[in-house]
Amino acid sequence: MAAAGPAARLRDAGLLALRRRVRGRLPLGADGGRARRAQSPDHRRRLLTRVQDAVQDAVQDAVRDDVRVEHRHVVANGTRCHALEAGSGTPLVLLHGTAIDSAALTYGPSLPQLAARHRVLALDWPGYGRSEHPRALPSMDDMVTLLAAFLDEVGLARVHLAGFSMGAAVGLGFALRSPERVATLTAIGAYGLDGGLPVPILPFVAMRVPWLGQSVTWGLRRSRFLTGLVLRHVVFSDGRLVDDALVREVHEQLRAPEAERSFVDWLRGELRPFALGTSYAERLGELRVPTLLLHGRNDRVIPARKADAASERISGARLVRVPGCGHWVPREAPEVFRRELLEFTRERG
C-alpha cells in the first residue's frame, strides 16, 4: 500500500490535532464549562486569531516531514558560503550567531516548520559550518556587506530577516543600511544593542595573549562533560532541557578544525579595552522596518534588560521576553521561536 501523502496526513492526523488545539483554546466559563454568553467583537476577533493559529499549526505539522532541505553554495564577496534552503513562499533568511554555531545547529530543528510557509535560507557565515574559512574573518561591517552580496547572488531583493546573537547584530546593521530590502527584522538574543562591557580591560588583554585566546575553547573541545556544563549553566536557563543528543551535537561541532579559530578571531575583533566593538545603541531610533525583539528572560549571555532598553528606542518595536529561557532561544524554546517569528512575518510582512 502506498504511503499516505501530505493531504492524507492532514486529513487523518492534522485535523485531529486541530480539533484538540481549538478545543484547548476556547474560553472557559466561570463554572469551568464552555462560555455560552455572547462575546464582544474584540473577544471574537481574538478567538478567530487563535483558531487561525491552530489551523496553521495543523498544516505545518502535516507537511513538515515532506519538506526537503537542500545544501546550497554561493560565492559572496569572494568567499564560498554555504546555506540550507527549504520551502517556498516569501523569502526568510536566517542568520546564526558566533561561538560554536552554524545554520544547522541553531535553525536545523525548525527548518521544516518555517519552510511550510516561507522559502527559507539559513546562511553559514564565513568560517562557520560548511562555509569557507577566509584568511581573515570579516568584520561586522564586512558581514553586512557579505549579506547584501549573498542576497544578490540568490536573487532576493527583499526578505524577512531573522538573526540570533551575532547574526541579529548583522541583521540590525543591514536593516539600517538597506531598509528597503527588509520586510521584517527579528532579532533573537541580539548582540550589538549596546556596547557595554561588564568587566573592562581584562577580556581585551586576555584575547591578545595567544595561549589565553585558545584556552577559551581548548577545554570544551576535549571534554564533552565541560561542553554540557556550559550549555546547562550558561547558554540555557533550564539545564534539564539539555539532553545528551544536544551535547553531542555541539561537541562534534567544537571538534571541527576551524571552529576554535573562528570564535577566537571574532572575540579579538570585537573586544575593546572599555567596550564592545559593535553597538547600534545610538542608531536604533533610525530603524524603519518592522522589528521583533525576541529575548530569553533569563539570558545570562546578553541580559534581557538590553532588549528592554532597545525596544524603547526602536519605533513600533515588538518585544517578547520568553519566560524561563536563556540565550539560545531557538534551541531552548523552539516552539516559542517558531510561533513568534511566523506570527510576526504574517502580520507585518
End residue of a domain, out of 238, 270, 302: 270
Of the pLDDT bands very low, low, confident and very high (cuts 50, 70, 90), residue 22 is very low
SS3 state of residue 91: strand
Confidence of residue 65 (pLDDT cuts 50, 70, 90): low
* Residues 330, 331, 333, 339, CA torsion sign: positive
- The pTM of this model reads 0.80
**Same domain assignment for residues 286 and 265:** no
Average pLDDT of the chain, as a whole number: 83
Domain count of the fold of the chain? 2
Beta 90-95 vs 70-76: how paired, if at all? unpaired
pLDDT at 1: 45
Percent of the chain at pLDDT exceeding 90: 60
Verify that 127 and 210 share a domain, yes or no.
no
- How far is 138 from 307, CA to CA, in rounded Å? 26
Residue 34 lies in a domain: no
Asked if 167 and 149 sit in the same domain, the reply is yes
Q: Is residue 212 part of a domain?
A: yes
Sheet architecture: strand order including 318-322? 70-76, 79-86, 118-123, 90-95, 159-164, 182-188, 291-296, 318-322
| Residue 338 lies in domain | 66-198+278-348
List pLDDT tens digits, range 226-284: 899 999 999 999 999 999 999 999 998 888 767 778 887 888 888 777 678 889 999 99
Together in a domain, 262 and 178: no
3-state secondary structure of 95: strand
Report if residue 46 sits inside a domain.
no
Pair 262, 287 in one domain: no
pLDDT at 211: 61
pLDDT of residue 264: 79
Has residue 17 been placed in a domain?
no
Q: Do 166 and 189 belong together in one domain?
A: yes
Decide if 286 is inside a domain. Answer: yes
Q: What is the mean pLDDT of residues 307-316?
A: 97
CB of 65 closer than 8 Å to CB of 72: no
The residue out of 249, 270, 291 marking a domain boundary is: 270
CATH number of the CATH domain containing 164? 3.40.50.1820
pLDDT exceeds 70 at position 207: no
Given 244, 270, 296, which residue is the final one in a domain? Answer: 270
The answer to the question of residue 324 being in a domain is yes
**Does residue 231 form part of some domain?**
yes
Higher pLDDT, 57 or 66: 66
Question: What integer is the mean pLDDT of 318-335?
Answer: 98
* Residues 325 and 338 placed together within one structural domain of the fold: yes
Is residue 16 a part of any domain in this protein?
Answer: no
Amino acid 7: pLDDT: 43
- Same domain? For 225 and 95 the reply is no
Task: Please tell me whether residues 118 and 241 are part of one structural domain.
Answer: no
Q: How many residues does the chain have?
A: 349
Do 322 and 287 share a structural domain? yes
19-33, 53-67, 208-222: segment of lowest average pLDDT:
19-33
| Residues 230, 176 within the same domain | no
Q: Angle, to 10 degrees, between the axis of helix 41-63 and the axis of helix 15-25?
A: 150
Residues 289 and 317: beta-carbon distance below 8 Å? no
Q: Are residues 74 and 150 in the same domain?
A: yes
Query: What is the CB-side half-sphere exposure of residue 220 using CA atoms within 13 A?
Result: 24
